[in-house]
Amino acid sequence: MKRYPHYLDLQPAMHAKGLVRLPGSKSISNRTLLLAALCDGTTHIKDLLASDDTHVMLMALQKLGVKWEQIGESQDYVVHGVNGSFPVHQADLFMGNAGTAIRPLTAALAVTGGDYTLHGVSRMHERPIADLVEALNAVGTHIEYTGVAGYPPLHIQRGRLHAQRMQVRGNVSSQFLTALLMAAPLMAREEDVRIDVIGELISKPYIEITLNLIRRFGITVQRDGWQSFTIPAGQRYISPGTIHVEGDASSASYFLAAGAIAGGPVRVEGVGKDSIQGDVRFVEALEQMGATIRMGENWIEAESNGVLRAIDADFNHIPDAAMTIAVAALYADGTSTLRNIGSWRVKETDRISAMAIELRKLGAIVEEGADYLRVTPPSEIQAAAIDTYDDHRMAMCFSLATLDGAARRGNKVRINDPQCVAKTFPDYFEAFAKVTEDTLF
């Protein structure tokens, strides 16, 4: 895996053009690993993401007694399912800062029972998990906080399930509902399990990914809109045999934005019009800003049409990819407003605050609200050293500030702690340099 120095200096880039093969989706990779572990049968996973977050899940599953093999030097893996019961009933699990690993694994372990501790890096211990824990404990699981109440670390012990109807808040993180949906078939041996969502559900496209993958592993879910989900009794996870991991649609956003800002065309391969990931809808925002978008079954392409138009839009459905719009707004013809992005505050860092601080370094005027960000571009983008807050998406999206757009020129940008991209895209800066013909150091 690529190792970077403590900082990386990116030079101004006049044009973006080319082809990028995307790494696998983090959301699909970690969901697929857990489902493959829980199912009956052996699953061949093709093009699994190579990253810190998937490594965390693989190591946790190994500690729990799940057997898996990597096929040579490829990103293909074979996972031997345990048919709903982990062989190891006592383990200490390090979860890094991987929300896509700790949330569903917490639910699965609490439902199957055992004696487990789950902990991570310091930022993980600041990311809320109370809604998930309360939903599980209300039906008889036994999860305790060993640090600050409402946050990891967690201690899970064997409980006694006594109810088949759960409730979970939907307005903090969709990963809580994802975790319950993935664990519910393990509870629905003799009775149906129903999950009710309290309030508005955010990040709905991520739930669509979960439901799609659960179906591929043999589980039928009945739903009443976004308010309740019922898993009929008597089902179990069954391997689909082979499953392919799509390219990461969130990672596609940086390259597509580069094409929209700096000429293009830039094409990404690995996602397309048939993707199960909601973040492909990022291209709708680029189209609103004036870019030309073309799509095939397994590719998307973006090209500039001149100065980007300012945008005012609700980004609740694509919170990760929306960060890219905040930087693209530097090249717009006026003030852009990103609305309904409150979930940014409980991600790898407080992304609303972090984005505001770093955009101001580049000369932008930024207004920060509880769940919105308003960006007025500068007359000239300033050279700056960007702090990344151990957040992979901060590092990646600010690389765009080096580009020459129709409205204004990019500038030299120093990315501090570039290694954080290893969370989802270890070779990001090499891929970015390829489409911008940039010199990294």
- Binding-site positions for 3-phosphoshikimate: 26-27, 31, 173-175, 203, 320, 347
Q: Are 339 and 313 in contact (CB under 8 A)?
A: yes
φ and ψ of 206, to 5 deg: -70, -30
Give every CB contact of residue 310 below 8 A, 6+ residues apart in sequence: 289, 329, 332, 333, 334, 335, 336
Residue 416: what residue type? N
- Give the burial string for 391-420 (b: 16+ CB within 10 Å, else e): bbbbbbbbbbbbbbbebbebbebebebbbb
Sign of CA dihedral 354, 409, 9, 253: positive
Residue ranges at the known binding site for phosphoenolpyruvate:
26, 99, 127, 175, 351, 393, 423
Task: Quickly tell me which residue has 């790898």 as its tokens.
Answer: 348
Q: In what order do the strands lie in the sheet with 142-145?
A: 90-94, 115-119, 154-157, 142-145
Pairing of strands 16-21, 228-231: unpaired
Closest CA to 201 of 69, 324, 340: 340
How far is it, in rounded angstroms, from Cα 222 to Cα 194? 9
Question: Binding-site residues, please?
Answer: 26-27, 31, 99, 127, 173-175, 203, 320, 347, 351, 393, 423
- Whether 320 is catalytic is yes
Query: Of 320, 387, 391, 404, which one is the catalytic site residue?
Result: 320
Catalytic machinery residues: 320
